């Protein structure tokens, strides 16, 4: 159920509705918007009786929710969510660029890339300290030592740090050193991890699972939101198909599909979405053209020597070129308001 408040409802009236929801043993999720506040209810097993709310002061209507998700949808919040990370945003007018190596390998490698990322004007630096690898024998990341390098990069360049947590203990660590918790494609349905991220004060970058439908992906976001963390960025990173010319098939139609249902920002990952260096820039351009709020790009100072995902890493020069191209496209389409 969704309680829609009147446009002139007061804060006290919203609080009174929240108290009624809590007294019933449920959780209230007030979502203020520019024209009105709506309050989502979670924690109920069956239908909630609308008569609890209909006559409360300030309530416009109590709406039964027929979709499987309640908090990610435009029904509860018609304006787009702008995820705020310090002085940077994802989902606002600015194109968010998150760039860096697949994995933090050494201090020198990470700093060489970070310097180029800073120079490009991007505000976010990515790099895995905990890597979800297909083989247990592949490089697994530097762990906390990698997070310490990321923290140094944040202090040196003022870049916001985006890094993956593989499990609940990983979230504890990422919270200490970084600005955004990445939940990887392989973890998209790790429900205990999603719930833990939902209790965090840090925004979450939620990648689409390798074979996730739109509903499954949005329900993963719903897990996080149902715990009270509403700062989520969805990331389309390609899905498994029969195609052999790419590592994954980058499903750019996911961007307008998400937009139609959800207020959450959505970004595109053309690095994992293609797996091939020469395809990253063309698909990054396409991602921006289709209306993505940002891009996440893998960059390496020496892709040939990368310990992880070297085939899809851009060189520093290629990355600089990509940024100028996608910015030019973004400048053209923003006034046109892509929907």
DSSP 1-52: -EEEEPTT--HHHHHHHHHHHHHTT-EEEEEE-SS-EEEEEES-SSPPPGGG
Nearer to ligand PEP, 9 or 235 (CB): 235
> What tokens were used for 63?
């709406």
Residue 239 interacting with ligand PEP (CB under 6 A): no
Long-range contacts of 301-305 (CB under 8 A, 24+ apart): 301/109, 301/112, 301/113, 301/116, 302/109, 303/277
Binder among 132, 144, 176, 241 for ligand PEP (CB under 6 A): 132
Kindly write out the interface string for residues 65-104 of this chain, putting x where it contacts Mn ion by CB under 5 A and - elsewhere: -------------------------------------x--
How crowded is residue 25: how many other Cβ atoms within 10 Å of its Cβ? 8
Tokens representing residue 241 in the block: 């198909």
Which is it for strands 294-298 and 266-268: parallel, antiparallel or unpaired?
Answer: parallel
Pick the closer one to ligand PEP by CB: 237 or 330: 237
User: For residues 259-318, which are near ligand PEP according to CB under 6 A?
Assistant: 272
Q: Measured from the CB atom, is 102 or 117 closer to Mn ion? A: 102
Binding mask 169-208 for ligand PEP (x = CB under 6 A): ---------------xxx--------------------x-
Query: Pairing state of beta strands 204-207 and 27-32?
Result: unpaired
Residue 38 vs 219, nearer CB to ligand PEP: 219
- For ligand PEP, the closer CB: 57 or 132: 132
Report if residue 179 touches Mn ion, rule: CB under 5 A: no
Output the smallest distance, CB 269 to ligand PEP, in A: 6
Residues of span 29-88 touching ligand PEP by CB under 6 A: none
Nearest approach, Cβ of residue 31 and ligand PEP (Å): 28
CB of 297 to Mn ion, least distance (A): 11
- Comparing CB distances to ligand PEP, the nearer of 131 and 263 is 131
Q: How far are the Cα atoms of 191, 284, 338 from residue 332, in angstroms, in the given order?
A: 40, 15, 10
Binding flag, residue 102, ligand PEP (CB under 6 A): yes
Closest CA to 211 of 191, 190, 188: 188
Q: Minimal distance in Å, beta carbon 269 to Mn ion?
A: 9
CA distance 35 to 28: 19
Q: Are 170 and 130 in contact (CB under 8 A)?
A: yes
Encoded one letter per residue, x for contact with Mn ion by CB under 5 A and - for no contact, window 270-309 reads ---------------------------------------x
- Give the Cα separation of 283 and 259 in Å (integer): 19
Figure out which of the listed residues 29, 154, 196, 237 binds ligand PEP, where binding follows CB under 6 A.
237
Q: Which residues contact 60 (CB under 8 A, 6 or more apart)?
A: 4, 5, 6, 7, 9, 36
Residues 252/268, Cβ–Cβ less than 8 Å: yes
Q: Is 128 in the site for ligand PEP (CB under 6 A)?
A: yes
**Cβ neighbourhood burial of 253 (10 Å; 0-12, 13-18, 19+):** exposed
Q: Which lies closer to ligand PEP via its Cβ, residue 73 or residue 182?
A: 182
Distance CA 129, CA 141 (A): 5
Task: Let me know: does 263 contact 77? Beta carbons within 8 Å.
Answer: yes
- Assigned token pair, 84: 């705020």
The one of ligand PEP, Mn ion, none whose footprint includes residue 194, by CB under 5 to 8 A per kind, is none
Q: Please say which residue, 134 or 339, places its beta carbon nearer to ligand PEP.
A: 134
Does the footprint of Mn ion cover residue 164 (CB under 5 A)?
Answer: no
- Of the pair 226, 277, the CB lying nearest Mn ion is at 277
Return the residue matching tokens 């989520």.
Answer: 232
The β-bridge partners of 199 are none
Binding residues for ligand PEP, per CB under 6 A? 102, 128, 132, 184-186, 207, 237, 272
Binding residues for Mn ion, per CB under 5 A? 102, 309
């Amino acid at each position: 159920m969704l309680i829609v408040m009147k446009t002139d409802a007061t804060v006290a009236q919203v609080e009174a509705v929240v108290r009624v929801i809590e007294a019933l043993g449920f959780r209230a999720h007030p979502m203020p918007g520019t024209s009105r506040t709506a309050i989502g209810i979670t924690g109920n097993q069956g239908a909630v009786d609308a008569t609890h709310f209909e006559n409360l002061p300030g309530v416009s209507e109590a709406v039964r929710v027929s979709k499987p998700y309640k908090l990610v949808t435009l029904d509860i919040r018609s304006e787009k969510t702008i995820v705020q990370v310090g002085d940077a945003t994802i989902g606002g007018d600015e194109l968010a660029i998150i760039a860096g190596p697949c994995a933090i390998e050494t201090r020198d490698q990470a700093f060489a890339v970070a310097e180029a990322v800073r120079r490009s004007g991007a505000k976010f630096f990515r790099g895995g300290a905990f890597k979800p690898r297909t083989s247990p024998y592949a490089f697994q990341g530097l762990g906390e030592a990698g997070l310490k390098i990321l923290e140094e990069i944040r202090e040196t360049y003022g870049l916001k740090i985006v890094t993956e947590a593989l499990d609940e203990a990983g979230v504890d660590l990422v919270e200490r050193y970084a600005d955004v918790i990445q939940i990887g494609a392989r973890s998209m349905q790790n429900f205990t991890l999603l719930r833990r991220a939902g209790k965090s004060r840090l925004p979450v970058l939620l990648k689409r699972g390798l074979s996730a439908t739109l509903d499954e992906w949005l329900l993963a976001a719903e897990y996080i939101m149902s715990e009270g963390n509403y700062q989520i960025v969805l990331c389309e990173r390609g899905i498994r198909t029969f195609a052999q010319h790419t590592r994954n098939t980058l499903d750019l139609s996911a961007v307008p599909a998400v937009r139609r249902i959800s207020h959450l920002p959505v970004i595109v990952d053309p690095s994992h979405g293609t797996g091939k260096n020469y395809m990253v820039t063309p698909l990054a351009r396409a991602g921006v053209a289709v209306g993505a709020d940002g891009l996440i790009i893998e960059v390496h100072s020496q892709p040939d020597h990368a310990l992880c995902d070297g085939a899809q890493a851009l060189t520093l020069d290629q990355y600089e070129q990509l940024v100028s191209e996608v910015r030019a496209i973004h400048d053209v389409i923003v006034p046109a308001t892509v929907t």
